[in-house]
Amino acid sequence: GNHTGVCGRLACELHARLEEMQSKGVHWQPSPQAGTSTLLIVDRSVDWIPLLLHDMHYEALLHDVLSSSCVSFEEGRFVYVDRVAGAEQGRTVVLGDARDSLWETCRHKPIWEVNDLVTAEITTWTQRDAEMRRPAPANSVSQRVSTTLNTLQSIPEHKDRFDRLQLHLDICQKCLDVIESQMLVDIGALEQDLATGLDREGCRLSPRAVEKELLQHLHNPQLDSSVKARLLLLFLSSAEGAGCPDSKHRELASHLAAADQRLPFSPGLIAAPRPEQKEVEKRRLSFQERCRGAGSPRTQRLRRWQPRVRRLIEELARGALDAREFPEYRKSRVHSSSSARPGLTAGASAQARTVTIFVIGGVTLPEVRAAHEAALALGIDVFVGGSCMLTPGALMSALRSL
């Protein structure tokens, strides 16, 4: 951005505050050995795709497809049915509390891997439960007492583990039910095509074939209007659909529910900046490389796309962010190199050890996952945040209220 934009104004204000802190002797970075820190402030228009596409990773998916039924994104709570002694009762739990090691293990994994992991864990738990209930061999009184005490001590943890497994199995089943009923495997594959500009083989898309498949989904009466609307908005924002005239917009929108037919004409989406053709080709090439190393067929089909935040993190870590798109970045590096103050140094060839991206307008769960994966891959500290947390449901509600 620039100094007149909201991103530029926020960056200038932050820089002034840091300067003020340093003038008072407050050093916010412990030592030069800690490496350089880079902050990039962008607005939501940098990437709309995470709010339109169905991300198939556990945390993002459950807050997307279950948000209107049993999960509260704001409170991080999930309501599920607990089956005790043949009876069913509703229970509310906090996702990701200190006792839930499964959440930290699974939250950024694809839903099918989580389902397989939880199913395998339940099998292991069942076997252990049977072993615990089996009478101990009567070798001696002391051995029987010791075995009994150990069994009793492990029961609370053992039962708590089962409760957590039951919780995540219930979440997986609900997500998989929605995936099946809304045909999200087929929908998701087309969304991946539109988001990357490539098919699963890494080949360029045929606009005619894309539009034909899009119409098949829009004509399907079994699909929710919100699923159709998101797919249509993703198509219209893609390279394949960006050039459609208004008459085509109206024709495609006529297949949505009456309340959603004006969504393609929302002022916020119409005014959103479009990437230049050179940037489109750059993104397509990066996705093409990802297609080649995608691994499993399911990954090729449903996990080819990555939020743009991922590439921005990689470029910031290398000190190679595109100065044409972010002219203030080059100016800030020149300024910080000449000032050479502790905590603000960023030499022309320096590589950042800490990367922070702040998204004005809100950050999404796929971007949180991308930051987590980038930190592991690059071996650096990565922080991503925003003025709020956004979900696809929140975007659709906002667009409908305009």
pLDDT in tens, 173-207: 999 999 999 999 999 999 999 999 999 888 899 99
Q: How many CB atoms lie within 10 A of CB 294?
A: 18
- How far is 350 from 346, CA to CA, in rounded Å? 6
- How far is 55 from 299, CA to CA, in rounded Å? 12
* Predicted pLDDT at 86: 53
Sign of CA dihedral 213, 218, 222, 223: positive
Cβ atoms of 355 and 385 closer than 8 Å? no
Q: Which regions of 85-200 does DSSP assign to beta strands (E)?
A: 87-94
* Predicted pLDDT at 333: 60
Tell me if 11 is assigned to some domain: yes
* Predicted pLDDT at 79: 77
* Predicted pLDDT at 344: 40
**Residue 195 is encoded by which pair of tokens?**
């988001």
With H, G, I as helix, E, B as strand and everything else as coil, classify residue 354: strand
Sign of CA dihedral 72, 301, 315, 360: negative
| Domain-ending residue, one of 270, 304, 338 | 304
Cβ atoms of 399 and 48 closer than 8 Å? no
- How many Cα atoms are found within 13 Å in the side-chain-facing hemisphere of 161? 14
* Predicted pLDDT at 252: 94
Give per-residue pLDDT as tens, 128-150.
877 766 765 656 556 655 555 55
Predicted model pTM? 0.85
Tell me if 311 is assigned to some domain: yes
Is residue 147 domain-shared with residue 121, that is, in the same domain? yes
Q: Are strands 77-84 and 71-72 parallel, antiparallel or unpaired?
A: antiparallel
Is residue 299 domain-shared with residue 195, that is, in the same domain? yes
Is residue 172 domain-shared with residue 199, that is, in the same domain? no
Regions of the chain where pLDDT drops below 50: 1-3, 152, 340-349
Torsions phi, psi for 362 (to 5 deg): 120, 145
Tell me if 216 is assigned to some domain: yes
The range of the structural domain enclosing residue 42 comes to 1-47+307-328+349-401
Query: What is the number of structural domains in the chain?
Result: 3
- Can you state the angle between helices 246-253 and 225-237, rounded to 10 degrees? 160
Is residue 1 domain-shared with residue 67, that is, in the same domain? no
* Predicted pLDDT at 62: 94
Is residue 86 domain-shared with residue 187, that is, in the same domain? no
